[in-house]
Structures are given as structure tokens and as C-alpha cells.
Amino acid sequence: MKTLKKYFELKTQIKELTAELKEIDGDVFEQVSDEENNKLETDFCRFQIVYRPKWEYTEGTTEKIKLVQDKIKIMKKQEEIDGSAIKISDGGQLRMTDRK
């Protein structure tokens, strides 16, 4: 029971810290972007903004991507049904729900 309580407390802290981090993320980004070459060195770490391109594709390409993804899902399901796909695990996941 002690381990379960500790797990719950840690997960709760992570959730709270993630929210707190999200709140200040924009301020930190702005502070670093004001620096030369988008880099900021402190005595405890180095911050740097790295840009990566994002793409938006035409409707035709987007539709084709969706069709291919749907076809792949169907092919996977068919292999699961006919037995040619090999199950390597049931992939259990722990789910925790706050009782508050």
C-alpha cells in the first residue's frame, strides 16, 4: 500500500509540475529569443531555441495520406484475424484515477 500511495503522490506532482512548466514556457521562450543567436547561457544550464519546419499539405495529398493510413489499418486487422500477424505481447498499461 505504501508503494501505491507513493506512486499516486509522484503522478500528482508530475501533473502539477507539468502545468506549472506550461505556464512559464512562453516567458522562457521569449527571454531566450531576445538573446543573440537565440541562445542563453546561465551558471546552471544552456537554453537554445531550435527551429524545425512544419508543413501543411494540399487537400489532395492529405486525402491520399488518409486513404493509405486507412488501408494499412485494414491490412493489419486482416492479418490479426487470419493469424498471419504474430502477437508479441498484450501490452498491459497501468491506469490510475484520482478519487477526488
pLDDT tens track for 14-70: 999 999 999 999 999 999 999 999 999 999 999 999 999 999 999 999 999 999 999
**pLDDT tier for residue 98 given thresholds of 50, 70 and 90:** confident
Q: Residue range 82-99: average pLDDT?
A: 91
Can you give the residue ranges of every domain in the chain? 24-53, 55-85
Q: Measured between alpha carbons, how far apart are the two ends of the chain, in Å?
A: 18
Q: Which residue has the cell 542563453?
A: 40
Please state, in angstroms and rounded to a whole number, the distance separating the CA atoms of residues 83 and 77: 10
Question: Over 80: is that where the pLDDT of 100 sits?
Answer: no
Phi and psi of 47, rounded to 5°? -110, 140
**pLDDT tier for residue 99 given thresholds of 50, 70 and 90:** confident
